[in-house]
Amino acid sequence: MQDNKRAAYALIRNVFLVLFVVSLAELAVAIYLESTVLLLLLASAKAVLVVYYFMHIYRLWRQEAH
């Protein structure tokens, strides 16, 4: 249980860090590559991370135990 908890907190922290790094990368891409496609891809990647790890979309097709 305790481990479970620690893992849960660690997971969200790591996801957050990845999101942060990708955001900085976006700025770099905008300045140095000026690639619209890449920017939209990066944004989509961020969105997927948030939708999966923060919004837990998978709960939609999971039967609730309680």
Partner 1 sequence: MSAVTTHHDDHAHDDTHAHELPYGQQLRANRLGLWLFLFSEVFLFVGLFAARFYLWRDASGVVRPELDQVAGLIATSVLLISSYFMVRAEVAVQHGEQKKMHNSLIMTFVMGSLFLLSVIFIEWGVLDLILDNMFGVTLFAHEAIKPGDGAFGAVFYGMTGMHALHVISGLVLILIILANGHKGAFTEERHWGVEACAVYWHYVDVVWIFFYPALYLIGTAVTYHT
Query: Which residues would be at the binding site for partner 1 (CB under 8 A)?
Result: 5, 8-9, 12-13, 16, 19-20, 23, 26-27, 29-30, 36, 39-40, 42-43, 46-47, 50-51, 53-57, 59-60, 63-64, 66
The closest of 26, 47, 52, 48 to 37, measured between CA atoms, is 26
**Minimum CB distance to partner 1, residue 19 (Å):** 6
**Minimum CB distance to partner 1, residue 31 (Å):** 9
**Minimum CB distance to partner 1, residue 44 (Å):** 8
Q: What's the Cα-to-Cα distance from 57 to each of 6, 34, 48, 65, rounded to whole Å?
A: 22, 32, 10, 17
The closest of 55, 50, 56, 45 to 22, measured between CA atoms, is 45
